[in-house]
Structure 1
Amino acid sequence: MEIDLTSVEWRTSSYSGGNGQCVEVASAAEAVAIRDSKDREGPALTFTAEAWGAFILGVRAGELAEA
Protein backbone atom coordinates (compact mmCIF):
# COMPACT_ATOMS: atom_id res chain seq x y z
CA MET A 1 0.00 0.00 0.00
CA GLU A 2 1.36 3.42 -0.99
CA ILE A 3 1.01 6.04 1.77
CA ASP A 4 1.00 9.74 0.94
CA LEU A 5 3.64 11.46 3.08
CA THR A 6 3.70 14.79 1.24
CA SER A 7 1.76 16.72 3.88
CA VAL A 8 2.96 15.08 7.12
CA GLU A 9 4.91 16.98 9.76
CA TRP A 10 8.29 15.36 10.35
CA ARG A 11 9.80 15.51 13.87
CA THR A 12 13.20 14.75 15.35
CA SER A 13 13.89 13.84 18.94
CA SER A 14 14.55 16.63 21.42
CA TYR A 15 17.68 14.61 22.26
CA SER A 16 19.00 15.02 18.72
CA GLY A 17 22.12 17.14 18.56
CA GLY A 18 21.34 18.35 15.05
CA ASN A 19 24.40 16.59 13.64
CA GLY A 20 22.46 14.59 11.05
CA GLN A 21 22.88 11.28 12.86
CA CYS A 22 19.22 10.75 13.64
CA VAL A 23 15.90 9.78 12.15
CA GLU A 24 12.70 11.75 11.71
CA VAL A 25 9.23 10.45 12.54
CA ALA A 26 5.84 11.46 11.13
CA SER A 27 2.31 10.32 11.79
CA ALA A 28 0.07 9.69 8.80
CA ALA A 29 -3.55 8.60 8.85
CA GLU A 30 -2.63 4.99 8.02
CA ALA A 31 0.84 4.65 9.53
CA VAL A 32 3.88 6.00 11.31
CA ALA A 33 6.75 6.86 8.97
CA ILE A 34 10.50 6.98 9.68
CA ARG A 35 13.20 8.53 7.49
CA ASP A 36 16.91 9.33 7.64
CA SER A 37 17.46 12.99 8.53
CA LYS A 38 20.44 13.10 6.13
CA ASP A 39 18.31 11.98 3.17
CA ARG A 40 14.97 13.77 3.46
CA GLU A 41 14.12 13.10 -0.17
CA GLY A 42 14.96 9.41 0.17
CA PRO A 43 12.71 6.52 1.15
CA ALA A 44 10.73 6.27 4.36
CA LEU A 45 9.87 3.15 6.29
CA THR A 46 6.24 2.87 7.36
CA PHE A 47 4.73 0.90 10.22
CA THR A 48 1.26 0.44 11.60
CA ALA A 49 0.56 2.44 14.74
CA GLU A 50 0.40 -0.84 16.67
CA ALA A 51 3.81 -2.01 15.45
CA TRP A 52 5.40 1.37 16.17
CA GLY A 53 3.86 1.40 19.65
CA ALA A 54 5.26 -2.07 20.37
CA PHE A 55 8.70 -0.93 19.20
CA ILE A 56 8.63 2.14 21.48
CA LEU A 57 7.53 0.04 24.45
CA GLY A 58 10.39 -2.38 23.78
CA VAL A 59 12.92 0.45 23.60
CA ARG A 60 11.67 1.97 26.86
CA ALA A 61 11.79 -1.44 28.57
CA GLY A 62 15.39 -2.00 27.46
CA GLU A 63 14.50 -5.03 25.37
CA LEU A 64 16.78 -4.08 22.47
CA ALA A 65 20.44 -4.95 22.95
CA GLU A 66 23.14 -2.59 21.74
CA ALA A 67 25.24 -3.89 18.88
Structure 2
Amino acid sequence: MGPQWIRSSYSDKQGGNCVEWAPGLVSDVGAVPVRDSKDTGLAALAFSPTAWTAFVDGVERAVR
Protein backbone atom coordinates (compact mmCIF):
# COMPACT_ATOMS: atom_id res chain seq x y z
CA MET A 1 0.00 0.00 0.00
CA GLY A 2 1.31 3.47 -0.90
CA PRO A 3 1.44 6.57 1.24
CA GLN A 4 -1.74 8.25 2.45
CA TRP A 5 -2.24 11.60 0.73
CA ILE A 6 -4.33 14.24 2.51
CA ARG A 7 -6.14 16.93 0.51
CA SER A 8 -5.92 20.50 1.73
CA SER A 9 -9.01 21.73 3.55
CA TYR A 10 -8.79 24.85 1.35
CA SER A 11 -9.31 22.83 -1.84
CA ASP A 12 -12.81 23.00 -3.26
CA LYS A 13 -15.04 19.99 -3.84
CA GLN A 14 -15.33 20.61 -7.61
CA GLY A 15 -11.69 19.74 -8.26
CA GLY A 16 -10.21 23.22 -8.28
CA ASN A 17 -7.09 24.35 -6.43
CA CYS A 18 -6.37 20.85 -5.13
CA VAL A 19 -3.18 20.20 -3.22
CA GLU A 20 -2.34 17.07 -1.25
CA TRP A 21 0.50 16.17 1.07
CA ALA A 22 1.73 12.88 2.54
CA PRO A 23 2.58 13.39 6.21
CA GLY A 24 3.62 9.75 6.64
CA LEU A 25 6.54 10.26 4.24
CA VAL A 26 8.06 13.28 6.00
CA SER A 27 10.20 11.24 8.38
CA ASP A 28 11.10 8.77 5.61
CA VAL A 29 12.38 11.30 3.09
CA GLY A 30 13.21 14.29 5.32
CA ALA A 31 10.97 16.56 3.28
CA VAL A 32 7.27 17.31 2.91
CA PRO A 33 5.92 15.78 -0.32
CA VAL A 34 3.19 17.84 -2.01
CA ARG A 35 1.31 17.05 -5.21
CA ASP A 36 -1.54 18.23 -7.43
CA SER A 37 -4.51 16.00 -6.61
CA LYS A 38 -6.06 16.65 -10.03
CA ASP A 39 -3.13 14.84 -11.69
CA THR A 40 -1.59 12.43 -9.20
CA GLY A 41 0.62 10.91 -11.89
CA LEU A 42 2.84 13.98 -11.88
CA ALA A 43 5.87 14.03 -9.62
CA ALA A 44 5.42 15.44 -6.14
CA LEU A 45 7.31 18.53 -5.04
CA ALA A 46 9.42 18.22 -1.89
CA PHE A 47 9.77 21.04 0.63
CA SER A 48 11.87 21.23 3.74
CA PRO A 49 9.73 21.08 6.89
CA THR A 50 10.73 24.68 7.67
CA ALA A 51 9.70 25.93 4.22
CA TRP A 52 6.41 24.00 4.36
CA THR A 53 5.56 25.44 7.79
CA ALA A 54 6.27 28.97 6.54
CA PHE A 55 4.06 28.38 3.48
CA VAL A 56 1.14 27.01 5.53
CA ASP A 57 1.45 29.87 8.03
CA GLY A 58 1.39 32.38 5.16
CA VAL A 59 -1.71 30.81 3.62
CA GLU A 60 -3.49 30.78 6.96
CA ARG A 61 -2.71 34.48 7.51
CA ALA A 62 -3.91 35.33 3.99
CA VAL A 63 -7.30 33.66 4.37
CA ARG A 64 -8.18 35.13 7.76
TM score, norm. by length of structure 1: 0.67
For the aligned residue pairs, the C-alpha RMSD in angstroms reads 1.9
Bigger Cα displacement from structure 2, 10-19 vs 48-57: 10-19
Bigger Cα displacement from structure 2, 16-25 vs 35-44: 16-25
The alignment partner of 1:58 has SS state of: helix
Task: Point out 4+ residue stretches in structure 1 off by more than 3 angstroms.
Answer: 14-18
Structure 1 residues not aligned, in runs of 5+: 1-5, 63-67
Deviation, structure 1 residue 12: 0.7
Aligned residues, how many? Answer: 57
Task: Specify the structure having the higher radius of gyration (Cα).
Answer: 1
Q: Larger helix proportion, structure 1 or 2?
A: 2
Deviation, structure 1 residue 15: 4.6
The answer for the alignment partner of 2:48 in structure 1 is 48
In structure 1, distance between residues paired with 2:55 and 2:10? 18
- 1:24 paired with 2:20, answer yes
TM score, norm. by length of structure 2: 0.69
Instruction: Determine what percentage of the aligned residue pairs are the same residue.
Output: 46
